[in-house]
């Protein structure tokens, strides 16, 4: 008799979601986490500084209801923030739901064009969301089985949804979906900060530039839940705490500070896990929230076919986003920014060309000298003021490795870049934290520190995610499942990968 | 995986080339993995009967040879091949096949267990990239020895006597044993003829000296150098398969569904489902009971070689084809290896081969009845006797 019905390795967002869902369906579940904190990348922070993730835009309401969290919970009641594109001349541009405005209040001339384009992409995102909320199509189910019919129905819905767009819209959808964001944006908007903002939103976290194919898909993906950006009340860790609470309420056994050393197999079937402290926990189902490669390391390559291991080791995951947290002096303000905009989402992406140029050095394992930046001003629990920034591009495999000098250079570049639009920012800073992709990898296990564990490119999506032959969350031995961001539909504090994996595990048992 | 050699190079001389050239009255060279290999040296008849009645020497150096060493080698190889190689003791040789993830045979070959976690794989197809893929994640080193190890196959009833005359004592070697005799010379009691025979392995630059030593030893034993055509007759009599002829190595196929499972090739005995995971195991479990076709051995009516013939069932529907077919001089039977589709392979009565004949400018066909045979067409007890007889 096994101790548990299922064991989840890795207590990040997807692991918590998978475990909680299984628990709520009557399974006896244990979630094992290496560090002392649950929440993975979402809640990882250094010395009480801001967390890695600092906003929500893709959290799935379906996931919340599946794990018993009320979408109206106070933590989630933060109102959507606007995006502010910072400008060197002090005329910042504010992107709101109702259009674009200059920071002094007047309507921006490109407002209508931007709204039209964004709305169109949101419509497409809604269509694709049905694909995200289920395992990717093309399983081996008999078409007349219940699962097979459901799958057919889902695809039919997508088809009908496409049809409903009308002929010219449908044609446009099929035209843009595989395209690059540069071409699509420049068709409708003049080059400049408005176009630059869309280009930036298409490349966060990925090793692509606006001219890379598939970047329109990334932008649509980001807009999959309507495009609203919120911040949980109390920060990201409040959200992950809420998830931990949901897991406990559902009856999950949580094991922090426990590292799994091995997944135990018997006769091509999972029988449990062995931990570093010498314990063996038994269960017929193991869900790994790790990327495929570290997962296969825990079983040993013998458990998989040679072709499967080859696919696993060539999955591309090259993190390009660093986290730079600027500690602000008490009562500091952001110079050059009207105070009512201080708590919005700030980005520095003055044009599509700027974003593309920022991407170029990454190809040669260099950091951007003029990076694209997303920043939030926020207060941590201890009352300290921070400017929490994501700096793109800073590759995980930088030439010469991430030495202290390289980190200092990245910090300096970040401050200099922001100072162009916020002159005098440097004087407001009392300390800097630099968290590079390699550091994210060693802290969370995400390959290359990539926040999707595997690049979201067309060759690694849907039935090819994380790799051909592994798209249905199972992976070789019976009872072994993957539930992490490397699986369909990816990361982004969305939770759908974990949910889909848990449902796949339940289905396999039925 | 076709073997590409630069046509400007022409055929490359192998380690025994000078000696083969001296013997080569027929001037019939063919391309074996880029090397100039003899199809016939003198005449097929002379060479075949030397093999079955005296002793024969055949250069097998163009075979691909890979040395696998390192602490994980046994584990890595056991995941690669379908049989349990833990049952192959040190100083033993095992025949093995390996499959892709769909359970389709990639190639067959022999595994020489040279020492603890020290193996040599010898096979027909180029396998380096596949072995490197298979070794990923294991502490194993893979070295391609194809061009540094020479191989010589000494086969026939007097082969033991030839070795004895050459001063090499192999009296203790049982079939599939191997031994290091002298420095740098390894002898295994293996072969591709179903007869008494040995394979001799040495460094490339010692090859000619080895040839001369054996040649001198064979002076009074009727030893003759032979080409591929004679060997091919012998291997069909023994019921052995040739890659690319009797089965399609799946990595070399471009069309869908041309690969074959071990069960379809009659090699199910080499698949061990109880040893743990191996490549293609999950697919083979589900394909075990549902072969699409079977590789069969047939006695063919009449005496016309049936190679390449189509096979028809009672209702005159085409159900397969002959892959290898010869008149067997030793068995005195017309024999064939063939692929027959299910379900006709299961019934297997009423099958006929349509053999095309050409006699002095006149083409004709005849329908030859096929009678299934389960055992090898020729399997003499002398092949297994230890110590072997001198004649």
Under an 8 Å CB criterion, which residues of B touch A? 75-76, 78-80, 100-101, 130, 133-134, 136-138, 276-277, 279-282
pLDDT of residue A141: 58
The pLDDT of A85-108, averaged and rounded, is 95
pLDDT of residue B79: 98
Kindly report the nearest CA distance between residue B132 and chain A, in angstroms: 10
Which of B72, B79, B132 is the mutation pick for testing A, counting most A CBs within 10 A? B79
| CA closest to A298 among chain B residues | B137
Which of B130, B137, B281 is the mutation pick for testing A, counting most A CBs within 10 A? B137
The structure tokens listed for B310 are: 């189509």
d(CA B149, CA A122): 65
User: B75 and A302: CB-CB below 8 Å?
Assistant: yes
Residues of chain A with pLDDT > 90, as a percent, come to 78
Domain of residue A279, residue span: 6-75+233-316+445-509
pLDDT of residue B4: 57
B373 sits in which H/E element: strand B362-373
Does A414 map to a domain?
Answer: yes
Query: Is pLDDT of A14 > 70?
Result: yes
Q: Is residue B292 a contact partner of residue B320, using CB atoms and an 8 Å limit?
A: no
Kindly report the nearest CA distance between residue A310 and chain B, in angstroms: 7
pLDDT of residue B2: 45
How would residue A142 be classed by pLDDT, with cut points 50, 70 and 90?
Answer: low
Does A90 map to a domain?
Answer: no
Does A227 map to a domain?
Answer: no
User: B277 and A301: CB-CB below 8 Å?
Assistant: no
User: B100 and A296: CB-CB below 8 Å?
Assistant: no
| CA closest to A303 among chain B residues | B277
Q: For residue A306, give the nearest of B133, B276, B282 by CB distance.
A: B133
Strands B223-225 and B55-59: parallel
Q: Pick the closest to residue A296 from B86, B136, B81 (CA basis).
A: B136
Q: Is B346 exposed, middle or buried (0-12, 13-18, 19+ CB in 10 A)?
A: exposed
Strands B362-373 and B352-359: antiparallel
Helices (H) and strands (E) in chain B, counts: 9, 19
The answer to whether residues A370 and A450 belong to one domain is no
Q: Is A266 on the interface with B (CB under 8 A)?
A: no
| CA closest to B139 among chain A residues | A301
User: A313 and B136: CB-CB below 8 Å?
Assistant: yes
User: A268 and B134: CB-CB below 8 Å?
Assistant: no
pLDDT tens digit string along A334-359? 999 999 999 999 999 999 999 999 99
User: A309 and B279: CB-CB below 8 Å?
Assistant: no
Q: For residue B136, give the nearest of A301, A305, A476 by CB distance.
A: A301
Does A94 map to a domain?
Answer: no
Q: Pick the residue with more confidence: A140 or B77?
A: B77
CB pairs below 8 Å between A and B: how many? 47
User: A305 and B80: CB-CB below 8 Å?
Assistant: no
* Domain boundaries along the sequence of chain B: 11-63+147-238, 65-144, 292-378
The structure tokens listed for A177 are: 């979906």
Which chain A positions have a beta carbon within 8 Å of B281's beta carbon?
268
Q: Is A278 exposed, middle or buried (0-12, 13-18, 19+ CB in 10 A)?
A: exposed
The conformation of residue B125, written as its DSSP 8-state character, comes to S
Query: Is pLDDT of B164 > 70?
Result: yes
C-alpha triplet A386, A226, A172: angle, nearest 5°: 125
d(CA B255, CA A228): 50
The answer to whether residues A327 and A439 belong to one domain is yes
| CA closest to B275 among chain A residues | A267
pLDDT of residue A45: 93
pTM of the shown model:
0.92
Of the listed ranges A126-130, A426-430, B101-105, the one predicted with least confidence: A126-130
The answer to whether residues A309 and A449 belong to one domain is yes
The answer to whether residues A439 and A336 belong to one domain is yes
User: B101 and A301: CB-CB below 8 Å?
Assistant: no
CATH 3.40.50.800 fits B11-63+147-238, yes or no: no
Query: Is pLDDT of A139 > 90?
Result: no
Q: Is A478 on the interface with B (CB under 8 A)?
A: no
User: A302 and B100: CB-CB below 8 Å?
Assistant: no
pLDDT of residue A137: 73
Does A88 map to a domain?
Answer: no
Q: What is the dihedral of CA B106, B107, B108, B113, to 10 degrees?
A: -90
- φ, ψ (nearest 5 deg) of residue A144: -90, -5
Kindly report the nearest CA distance between residue B268 and chain A, in angstroms: 19
Does A292 map to a domain?
Answer: yes
- Residue A477: give its domain's CATH number: 3.50.50.60
d(CA A274, CA A325): 37
Select from A222, A251, A281 the last residue of a domain: A222
How would residue B252 be classed by pLDDT, with cut points 50, 70 and 90?
Answer: very high
Select from A222, A242, A259 the last residue of a domain: A222
The answer to whether residues A135 and A175 belong to one domain is yes
The pLDDT of B254-281, averaged and rounded, is 96
Query: Is pLDDT of B315 > 90?
Result: no
How would residue B319 be classed by pLDDT, with cut points 50, 70 and 90?
Answer: very high
d(CA B279, CA B289): 18
| CA closest to A297 among chain B residues | B137
User: B130 and A306: CB-CB below 8 Å?
Assistant: yes
Which chain A positions have a beta carbon within 8 Å of B133's beta carbon?
306-307, 309-310
Select from A444, A461, A496 the last residue of a domain: A444
Q: Pick the residue with more confidence: B248 or B183?
A: B248
User: A308 and B80: CB-CB below 8 Å?
Assistant: no
Which of A263, A306, A308 is the mutation pick for testing B, counting most B CBs within 10 A? A306
Q: Is A146 on the interface with B (CB under 8 A)?
A: no
Q: For residue B137, give the nearest of A268, A301, A477 by CB distance.
A: A301
Which residues, in sequence order, are CB contacts of A119 under 8 Å at separation 6+? none
A378 sits in which H/E element: strand A372-379
Q: Is A302 on the interface with B (CB under 8 A)?
A: yes
pLDDT tens digit string along B193-231? 999 999 999 999 999 999 999 999 999 999 999 999 999
Q: Is residue B264 a contact partner of residue B295, using CB atoms and an 8 Å limit?
A: yes
| CA closest to A475 among chain B residues | B282
Output the CA torsion sign for A153, A159, A161, A163.
negative
The answer to whether residues A154 and A209 belong to one domain is yes
The answer to whether residues A312 and A459 belong to one domain is yes
B292-378 folds as Elongation Factor Tu (Ef-tu); domain 3 (2.40.30)
Which chain A positions have a beta carbon within 8 Å of B139's beta carbon?
none
pLDDT tens digit string along A376-397? 999 998 889 999 999 999 999 9
The answer to whether residues A456 and A432 belong to one domain is no
Query: Is pLDDT of B1 > 60?
Result: no
- SS3 labels along A293-341: HHHHHHHCHHHCCHHHHHHHHCCCCCCCEEEEEEEECCCCCCCCCCHHH
The conformation of residue B32, written as its DSSP 8-state character, comes to E
C-alpha triplet A144, A145, A151: angle, nearest 5°: 85
CA B150 to centroid of chain Cα atoms: 17
Q: Is A309 on the interface with B (CB under 8 A)?
A: yes
User: B277 and A296: CB-CB below 8 Å?
Assistant: no
Does A334 map to a domain?
Answer: yes
The answer to whether residues A336 and A429 belong to one domain is yes
The CA distances from residue A56 to A37, A247, B22, B235, in Å, are 19, 20, 81, 70
User: A308 and B130: CB-CB below 8 Å?
Assistant: no
Domain count, chain A: 3
| CA closest to B283 among chain A residues | A305
The pLDDT of A324-330, averaged and rounded, is 95
The answer to whether residues A142 and A164 belong to one domain is yes
The pLDDT of B342-357, averaged and rounded, is 92
pLDDT tens digit string along B48-60? 999 999 999 999 9
pLDDT tens digit string along A488-499? 999 888 999 999
pLDDT of residue A144: 61
pLDDT tens digit string along A59-81? 999 999 999 999 999 999 888 99
List the CATH code of the domain at B65-144. Answer: 3.30.70.1400
| CA closest to A305 among chain B residues | B279
Q: For residue B276, give the nearest of A296, A302, A313 by CB distance.
A: A302
How would residue A163 be classed by pLDDT, with cut points 50, 70 and 90?
Answer: confident
Which chain B positions have a beta carbon within 8 Å of A313's beta carbon?
136
Does A156 map to a domain?
Answer: yes
The answer to whether residues A372 and A449 belong to one domain is no
User: A301 and B80: CB-CB below 8 Å?
Assistant: no
Which chain A positions have a beta carbon within 8 Å of B280's beta carbon?
305
Kindly report the nearest CA distance between residue A308 and chain B, in angstroms: 8
Kindly report the nearest CA distance between residue B69 and chain A, in angstroms: 17
């Amino acid at each position: 008799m096994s101790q548990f019905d299922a064991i989840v390795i890795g207590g990040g967002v997807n692991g918590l979601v998978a475990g909680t869902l299984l628990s709520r369906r009557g399974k006896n579940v244990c979630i094992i986490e290496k560090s002392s904190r649950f929440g993975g990348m979402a809640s990882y922070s250094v010395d009480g500084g801001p967390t890695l993730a600092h906003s929500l835009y893709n959290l799935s309401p379906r996931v919340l209801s599946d794990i018993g969290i009320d979408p109206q919970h106070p933590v989630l009641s933060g109102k959507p923030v606007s995006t502010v594109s910072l400008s060197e001349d002090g005329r910042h541009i504010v992107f709101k739901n109702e259009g674009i405005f200059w920071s002094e209040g007047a309507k921006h001339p490109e407002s209508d064009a931007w709204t039209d384009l964004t709305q169109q992409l949101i419509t497409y995102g809604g269509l694709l969301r049905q694909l995200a909320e289920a395992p990717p199509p093309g399983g081996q189910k008999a078409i007349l089985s219940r699962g097979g019919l459901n799958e057919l129905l889902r695809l039919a819905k997508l088809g009908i949804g496409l049809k409903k767009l009308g002929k010219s819209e449908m044609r446009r959808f099929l035209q843009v979906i595989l395209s690059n964001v540069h071409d699509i944006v420049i068709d409708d908007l003049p080059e400049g900060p408005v176009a630059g903002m869309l280009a930036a939103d298409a490349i966060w976290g990925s090793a692509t530039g606006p001219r890379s194919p598939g970047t329109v898909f990334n932008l649509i993906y980001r807009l999959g839940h309507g495009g609203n950006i919120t911040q949980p009340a109390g920060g990201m860790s409040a959200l992950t705490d809420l998830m931990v609470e949901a897991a406990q309420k559902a009856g999950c056994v949580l094991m922090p500070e426990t590292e799994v050393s091995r997944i135990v197999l018997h006769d091509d079937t999972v029988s449990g896990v062995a931990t570093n402290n010498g314990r063996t926990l038994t269960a017929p189902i193991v869900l790994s929230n790790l990327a495929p490669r570290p997962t296969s390391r825990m079983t040993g390559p013998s458990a998989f076919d040679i072709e499967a291991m080859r696919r696993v080791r060539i999955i591309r995951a090259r993190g390009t986003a660093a986290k730079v947290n600027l500690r602000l002096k008490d009562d500091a303000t952001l110079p050059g920014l009207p105070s009512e905009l201080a708590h919005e989402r700030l980005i520095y992406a003055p044009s599509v060309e700027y974003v593309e140029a920022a991407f170029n050095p990454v190809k040669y394992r260099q950091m951007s000298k003029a990076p694209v930046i997303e920043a939030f001003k926020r207060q941590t629990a201890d009352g300290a003021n921070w400017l929490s920034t994501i700096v793109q591009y800073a590759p995980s495999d930088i030439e010469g490795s991430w030495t202290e000098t390289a980190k200092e250079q990245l910090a300096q570049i970040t401050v200099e870049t922001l100072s162009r639009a916020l002159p005098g920012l440097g004087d407001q800073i009392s300390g800097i934290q630099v968290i590079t992709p390699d550091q994210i990898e060693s802290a969370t296990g995400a390959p290359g520190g990539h926040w999707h564990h595997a690049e979201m490119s067309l060759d690694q999506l849907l039935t090819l995610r994380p790799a051909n032959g592994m798209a249905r969350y199972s992976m070789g031995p019976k009872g072994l499942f993957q539930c992490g961001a490397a699986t369909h539909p990816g990361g982004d504090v969305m939770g759908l990968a974990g949910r889909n994996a848990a449902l796949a595990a339940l289905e396999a048992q039925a | 995986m076709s073997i590409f050699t630069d046509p400007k190079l022409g055929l490359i001389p192998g380690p025994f080339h000078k000696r083969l050239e001296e013997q080569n009255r027929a001037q019939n060279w063919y391309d074996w993995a880029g090397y100039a290999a003899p199809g016939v040296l003198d005449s097929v008849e002379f060479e075949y009967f030397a093999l079955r009645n005296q002793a024969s020497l055949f250069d097998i150096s163009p075979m691909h040879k890979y040395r696998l060493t390192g602490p994980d080698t046994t584990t890595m190889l056991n995941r690669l091949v379908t049989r349990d190689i833990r049952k192959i003791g040190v100083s033993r040789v095992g025949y093995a096949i390996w499959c892709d993830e769909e359970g389709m045979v990639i190639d067959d070959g022999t595994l020489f267990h040279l020492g603890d976690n020290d193996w040599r794989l010898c096979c027909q197809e180029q396998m380096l990239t596949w072995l490197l893929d298979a070794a990923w994640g294991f502490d194993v080193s893979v070295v391609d020895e194809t061009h540094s190890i020479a191989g010589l196959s000494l086969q026939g009833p007097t082969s033991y006597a030839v070795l004895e005359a050459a001063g090499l004592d192999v009296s203790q070697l049982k079939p599939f044993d191997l031994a290091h005799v002298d420095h740098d010379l390894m002898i295994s009691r293996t072969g591709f003829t179903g007869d008494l025979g040995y394979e001799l392995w040495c460094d490339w630059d010692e090859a000619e000296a080895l040839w001369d030593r054996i040649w001198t030893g064979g002076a009074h034993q009727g030893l003759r150098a032979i080409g591929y055509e004679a060997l091919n007759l012998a291997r069909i009599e023994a019921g052995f398969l040739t890659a690319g002829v009797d089965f399609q190595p799946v990595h070399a196929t471009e069309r869908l569904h041309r690969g074959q499972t071990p069960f379809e090739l009659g090699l199910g005995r080499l698949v061990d489902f109880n040893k743990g995971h191996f490549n293609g195991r999950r697919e083979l479990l589900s394909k075990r009971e549902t072969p699409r076709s079977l590789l069969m051995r047939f006695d063919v009516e009449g005496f016309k070689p049936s190679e390449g013939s189509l096979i028809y069932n009672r209702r005159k529907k085409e159900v397969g084809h002959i892959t290898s077919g010869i008149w067997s001089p030793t068995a005195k039977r017309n024999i064939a290896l063939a692929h027959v589709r299910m379900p006709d392979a299961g019934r297997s009565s009423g099958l006929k081969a349509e053999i095309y004949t050409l006699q002095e400018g006149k083409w004709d066909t005849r329908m030859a009845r096929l009678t299934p045979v389960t055992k090898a067409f020729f399997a003499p007890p002398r092949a297994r006797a230890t110590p072997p007889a001198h004649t």
